[in-house]
Amino acid sequence: MSRCESLYCPHTINDNLVTTPTMRGRIILIDDDAEILAAIRSLLELEDYICETYSSALSYLRVQRTEPMDEFIPSCVLCDVKMPELGGLELQRRLAEHNDAPMLLMSGASGAQEVTAAFRAGAVDFLLKPIDIDVLLAAIATALEISCQRRRWRNRNTDLTARISTLTEGECQIARLLARGQSHRDIAEMLNLPLELVNAQRQQIMAKMGVKTLVELVRVIDDINLHLTAEGQPRRVWGTLHDVASQQAKQEEFQQLAHYDHLTHLPNRRLFLERLHQALADSARHHAWGALVFIDLDNFKHINDHFGHDVGDQLLQQVAQRLLSFVRGNDTVARLGGDEFVIIFKYLNTDHVQAVTYADQLGKKILNLLNPPYLIAGHAHQSTPSIGIAHFNGQTASLETVMKQADAAMYQAKERGRNCVCHFDTNLQEALTTREALAADLLAGLDSGQFHLHYQTQVNTDGKITGVEALVRWRHPEHGWIPPDELIPLAERSGLILPLTQWILETACQQLFEWSRIPALEPLNMAVNISTRQFYHPDFVDTVQDILKQCGANPQRLRLELTEDLLLTDIKNSFAKMTALKKSGISFVLDNFGTGYSSLSALRQLPLDGLKIAPDFVNNVLTSPGNSSLPIALISLMRSLGIEVMAEGIENQQQREFLTEQGCLTFQGYLFGYPTPIESLTLN
């Protein structure tokens, strides 16, 4: 059993079946890679989905045929395309015969032909590995909407199904033959029955079905397709009723649901991929350059958290309208999910340099288009974009490569301070290749001992060491030490932040136990940073308590550091988890305060023991009275609430003395020591 499975899947049942008590939706995960299954399952369980995992498509088929889908829970299937014995495409074809759960296919290396084949087989979306978490959640949400829609249509035939179930075995045989156009005389000869008996049974069938004419009966039976058991009894009825106008409306509704985003009515990821594939083919045929533009809204989460999702939804709708008003008729604007939009610009120019110049002009116009405030319910809301552009001519790159390039350029725009435009270039290609390789190496690094904890000391006003903060470091066998600001985002985007945080907590608690056996070191506290996904995992409280019990560490010496956005996402849930762990003696510290959007009133609702002032505020505390006002007020308020304040990022004695005068009692920073491995750590 892998590390992921042993830590995050405590409720394992037969054939890797894992369930949770929620009824939000049922996700079938199929992949022959156990690590991928564990990572995706952990993520979806955090989102309160029911998850079932299978190591092969055949094992799922065996279970599915004996245990059909629950009619009352929307369901979808997420399956890898390439697997031994039976792949995702063939599974989709087999399921289409007796299962209408929407299918999501995923692959690590796929071309445009494979993507097209997936959609033609009936898949509702195609995901590229490594899978982007936001894209995955958006695709699943769309698939479950489709599942609900199909279920509503299916339930419209409930009354008809009940009537058909009253037919006898002989009546079912006659009904099927009638639907195939056989006459009464032909049926009598085929079944070796008297003609009078066939006529009598036809009348009984019509009476049970509630129809008045033979034409109505034949049309109903033909539309619904009777599925019989081995004994000849009706087992399942499949199909829809026969109002042509209604059927056409349903089909149009389904196409809208399958290809367009329900909020903005822009093309969704599925339709976007089809159009990008076509754009690449057209650009190759016409020898013209095009551009793919990725747009991500800056600080959109702040708007959702502080003004509500209704305001956020209206802002997304206004963004969609602005983008639609800007593009030409042959271009495509789509929403991939969340606050991510894309634009496909076709036929920019046959000359590469001129095409890049034109694309840059378009990017800057989009920037200016999205910068003005959005008026929602009488209030102005600001949300600037980060824009990444990749260029294509249909011959230089595949579909998935162009998407990765645009995504990398967009993230570079964010790194440059946001609200700007970046183009993909060769330097970005090298960084992208390195990042993808590191993501593949990260999980292997956990199992092979490449990760280490370094410890930075924390001191009081007398300079006495009161504890340490555990900081993770990765020593890659080829690239050496990977910087933390690169490691943590990489772990979050790959979904491996869960096992990484788990390893950090286990290692830190083991060190706490070692110190407890040394009288001089027993009073030291251990601070550990907890990721958002770790904190909101359903088993977080039990996991922490189990680790402390297994390691024998004193919970009163453990201080869990949380971030502002984590606490303000769901205060009620946060309060419950913190309270449960505080009963064991564990303390909680709000880390890096001042970089998010927390309100002091919100902080008072949480059972915090300590708060860390962000290094940016500490570094500037002596530069002007304005820069010192927030730390001074914060120290005063927190002391009145009985919450300890720590200044993080102390680099010189003047900063320390000033904050001590204001009432700050604990400090951390380079003035007292750099993060150090345990072998070099001095604690006296």
> Is residue 4 scored above 50 in pLDDT?
no
Q: For position 594, what pLDDT does the model report? A: 63
Gap between the Cα atoms of 92 and 110, Å rounded: 17
Most confident of the following: 246-250, 299-303, 352-356, 662-666: 662-666
CA distances (Å), origin 107, targets 118, 139, 435, 649: 11, 15, 18, 44
> Is residue 237 scored above 80 in pLDDT?
no
Which of 373 and 254 is assigned the larger pLDDT?
373
> Is residue 223 scored above 60 in pLDDT?
no
Closest CA to 343 of 405, 410, 404, 276: 276
Tokens 């709000």, located at residue: 590
Measured in whole angstroms, the distance separating CA 112 from the mean position of its chain's CA atoms is 24
| pLDDT 10s digits, 94-116 | 776 566 678 888 887 666 667 77
Q: Are 128 and 106 in contact (CB under 8 A)?
A: yes
> Is residue 266 scored above 60 in pLDDT?
yes
Q: Residue 671 phi/psi, 5° resolution? A: -60, -30
Most confident of the following: 137-151, 407-421, 425-439: 407-421
Instruction: Label residue 241 by pLDDT band (50, 70, 90).
Output: very low
Average per-residue pLDDT in the chain? 79
End-to-end CA, the chain:
42
Instruction: Label residue 5 by pLDDT band (50, 70, 90).
Output: very low
Provide, rounded to the nearest whole percent, the portion of the chain with pLDDT above 90.
22
Q: For position 66, what pLDDT does the model report? A: 59
> Is residue 71 scored above 60 in pLDDT?
no
* Residue 234: how many other CB atoms lie within 10 Å: 20
Which of 549 and 84 is assigned the larger pLDDT?
549
Q: Which segment of 408-417, 433-442, 493-502, 515-524 scores lowest on mean pLDDT?
A: 433-442
Mean pLDDT for the stretch of residues 260-275? 87
Gap between the Cα atoms of 676 and 684, Å rounded: 14
> Is residue 287 scored above 80 in pLDDT?
yes
Q: For position 225, what pLDDT does the model report? A: 53
* Residue 70: how many other CB atoms lie within 10 Å: 11
Q: Are 118 and 91 in contact (CB under 8 A)?
A: no
> Is residue 482 scored above 70 in pLDDT?
yes
Mean pLDDT for the stretch of residues 619-636? 79
Gap between the Cα atoms of 254 and 251, Å rounded: 5
> Is residue 234 scored above 70 in pLDDT?
no
Q: Which segment of 108-122, 199-213, 379-393 scores lowest on mean pLDDT?
A: 108-122
Which of 179 and 400 is assigned the larger pLDDT?
400
> Is residue 20 scored above 90 in pLDDT?
no
Helices (H), 562-624: 564-569, 571-582, 600-603, 615-619
Q: For position 138, what pLDDT does the model report? A: 83
> Is residue 555 scored above 90 in pLDDT?
yes
Q: For position 284, what pLDDT does the model report? A: 85
Instruction: Label residue 443 by pLDDT band (50, 70, 90).
Output: confident
Q: For position 15, what pLDDT does the model report? A: 33
Give the HSE-up count for residue 571: Cα atoms under 13 Å, Cβ half-sphere: 13
Gap between the Cα atoms of 125 and 346, Å rounded: 23
Q: Residue 649 phi/psi, 5° resolution? A: 95, 20
Which of 329 and 215 is assigned the larger pLDDT?
329
Q: Which segment of 54-63, 210-219, 557-566 scores lowest on mean pLDDT?
A: 210-219
Instruction: Provide the angle, in degrees to the nearest 10, between the axes of the packed helices 269-286 and 399-415.
Output: 110
Q: For position 497, what pLDDT does the model report? A: 83
Does this model's pTM top 0.85? My answer is no
Q: Are 634 and 612 in contact (CB under 8 A)?
A: no
> Is residue 518 scored above 50 in pLDDT?
yes
- Strand, coil or helix: 392: strand
> Is residue 243 scored above 50 in pLDDT?
no
| pLDDT 10s digits, 296-309 | 998 787 787 678 78
Mean pLDDT for the stretch of residues 72-95? 82
Strands (E), 271-405: 289-297, 332-337, 340-349, 374-376, 379-381, 385-392
